[in-house]
Amino acid sequence: MSHPEEITRRQLLRRVGITAFAVGPGASLLAACATGGGNTPSAAPTTAAAGAVSPKNPFGVDAKKPLEVVIFSGGYTDSYAKDGHEPLYTKAYPGVTIKHTGTQQIGTQLRPRFLAGDAPDVVNNSGPESLDLAALANEGHLADLTPLWDAPSVDDPNKKIRDTITPAAIENAKLNGKDLVLNYTVSHRGLWYNAKLFATKGWKLPQTWEEFLALGETAKKEGIHLFAFPGQKGPYYQLWNMLYTAAKIGGNQVIIDIDNLVDNAWKSPAVKAAVEAWLNVQLKYSDKSYLGLDHTQVQVKHLQNKVLFYPCGSWLENEMMKDKPADFEYAIAPFPNVTAGDVMPYGAIQVGVGENFFVGAKGKNVQGGLEYLRIMLSKEGAKDFTAKTKNLTIVNGGAEGVDLPPGLVSAAKAQDAAGTDIITDARFEGWYKPLFDYAWQQQNTLMAGRMSVDEYLDKIQKKADDVKADSSVAKQSRNS
């Protein structure tokens, strides 16, 4: 099952520019990577050029004007900005001063500043404390990125930026019908496991839910939990896990309906089946004590072979690189078939764009902010990011020549096998952040066994209904 916006193997080869992946002797070439409008747009217009406009300086950046960059220092750390993108900016504009901040508390640090009218120029808005993008858009804090898409590429002035990146990034940039957000990375989300452990034990990846649970019984005898749910920071990983499993069961329309606030979308049979399946795994094959741990602590348990499968995205390997022992090799597994009638076949995998950046429309240097993003979207900027984070970007050719780790190669192989069976992104995280936060926060109670599946879905559906009925919330929509 495929939809127009989904990224196929051949499209990824062209768009992301990974022309070949050698996975071993005789291996085949592999694909290697990976919003519609509502209310009246309220983004503030980009201010006039401060300096002379040219193909090398399309926004008229004034090199004497300082630039402020705030980066979420999570799994990717902030080195890619501090030691990569920012030096490229200062090379292009000698003498410029860049104020850099790396933090895991984006919301705590920046929310008061936006309220006070003291916005940074560039923000990497990520992590559990990320800002509400829809609210910022409605308040006019997000600069229009249309001039960025239409600007000449750093690599080839005869090409527009929009022609050098994955088209899905432009589609996902939209809020209120305007291009306001840059999603910089291509990521794969699924179940991560230790390929070396599986090879040693002679275990095969389960393709059905019955096989998945049977492997859980086998692993339990060896003191290994089939699955783990961290209760502190990062439990939204499990919300993604449930939603993408629901899409596996019922098709991508399940997620599209949730994004579009369709009545009773959260109570669809596919969503209920996915939540029931994962709650059962949590109650029978996990460790409730992990509810007191954060995601990195549980990820260490995973590295210690105390957990067999961990739901996360392809940034996981880089995030845990310092803790990873030599006998652990990250690999991604597709979701097993939950029912005999799953709409999407075994092997379907989630591939999407993420890690959002925006330019502060009310910042002191909007032109510099747009130029910073243009430099990020150069091959040099993308290649340096991939080299430092071991994650792919939306830039065509942005990973050429980079030595990629086993986990990412595994994701490429899984995507190659999936073909057009790609599970779509859930976009309500950026569209209706209070709904997204409420949904994952309620999961702690659910996964602790203190709430039934019906109670959980009733609560989330009620929250979605409230969002839909709230006329102060700008509504977004998607067709595919």
Residue 76: strand, helix, or coil:
coil
Answer whether residue 4 shows pLDDT above 50: no
| Residues pairing with 188 in the sheet | 351
| Amino acid found at 375 | I
CA atoms within 13 A on the CB side of 28: 6
- Domain residue ranges in the chain: 43-186+352-405, 187-349+426-469
Stretch 182-186: mean pLDDT: 96
Closest listed residue to residue 93, CA positions, set 144, 45, 51, 127? 51
Q: Do the bridges between strand 67-72 and strand 122-125 make them parallel or antiparallel, or are there none, so unpaired?
A: parallel
Q: What percent of the chain has pLDDT over 90?
A: 80
Q: State the pLDDT at residue 48.
A: 67
Stretch 385-405: mean pLDDT: 92
Please check whether the two domains, 43-186+352-405 and 187-349+426-469, share a CATH topology. Answer: yes
Stretch 219-233: mean pLDDT: 92
Answer whether residue 379 shows pLDDT above 60: yes
Q: What is the mean pLDDT of the chain?
A: 89
**Structure confidence by residue, pLDDT tens digits, 238-268:** 999 999 999 999 999 999 999 999 999 999 9
CATH architecture of 43-186+352-405: 3-Layer(aba) Sandwich (3.40)
Stretch 129-157: mean pLDDT: 96
Q: State the pLDDT at residue 43.
A: 42
Task: Convert 21-37 to b/e letters by CB count within 10 Å (16 or more is b).
Answer: beeeeeeeebbbbbbbe
Q: What is the DSSP string of 347-374?
A: T-EEEEEEEEEEEBTTSS-HHHHHHHHH
Stretch 72-92: mean pLDDT: 96
CATH topology of domain 187-349+426-469: D-Maltodextrin-Binding Protein; domain 2 (3.40.190)
